[in-house]
Each structure stands twice: as C-alpha cells, then as structure tokens.
Amino acid sequence: MQHPIANRSSQASRRPWRACLAVLCTAALMGVSGFSRADADHDRARRALEAGEVLPLGTILTRLEREHPGQVLDVELDLEKHSGVERWVYEIKLLRQGGSLVKLEVDARTGAVISRKLKN
C-alpha cells in the first residue's frame, strides 16, 4: 500500500496546473503591482515553454518523483544568471515522509538537478 504523502505527490505530478494555480494565488496576494510583475513573468515563462526552452512542469515532476519522493509544496520558474549566462530554473520545495523539507533547483531545459538542500 502506498503512503498517503507519496500518493499526493503522484497526484501532484499528474496535475501541474495546481502548481500554476499556486503561483497565481501567490501573485494575487502580493498586490496589484506585484501581480503585474508576476503576470509579465508568467507570460515570459509561457513563451519559453512554447518555444521549447523549458520542459513542462509535469515532465520535470515525473522525472524527480523516483529520486526525490514527496509532496510538492511550492514551485517557481525563474530566469537566473549563472556566470553571465541566463537559464530557466525550476525551484521545487518537497515535503518528504517524516516531515523533512527538500528544496531542489532544476535546470528547466534539461531536467538536471542543479542543487539540493535538505532541511530537517
């Protein structure tokens, strides 16, 4: 029998729209000026997905689920600069069985985990 947290993680990976909804709700809570910036960021992220510059969130979550099981708490897609080069990065926070938190940074183009931080 599968653990309820693992089951929820599986459900979250099949429903990437939930993560998008969470991002939009967060933007709405930031206020009107914050929302307009978030709206512009959302448009840039959508264009990057349509142009094939980033993998869909569902694909990323499915790949991560095997090595990093847990319930997805938060997802952000940011355009970051590393060594003068811009790249899209998914920042994903997971609640693992036992209550520990994991923050993953994932290259949005390749799906490779860039960094992993564990908080007990």
The predicted model scores a pTM of: 0.66
Closest CA to 72 of 13, 116, 4, 14: 13
| Local confidence band at 41 (pLDDT 50, 70, 90 cut-offs) | confident
What CATH number does residue 97 fall under?
3.10.450.40
Eight-class DSSP state of 68: S
- 63-76 pLDDT, tens per residue? 999 999 999 999 99
**Cα gap 91→74, rounded to integer Å:** 8
Structurally, the chain folds into a number of domains equal to 1
- 43-68 pLDDT, tens per residue? 888 898 899 999 999 999 999 999 99
Q: Domain range holding 114? A: 4-119
Which H or E run contains 18? Answer: helix 17-29
| Local confidence band at 85 (pLDDT 50, 70, 90 cut-offs) | confident
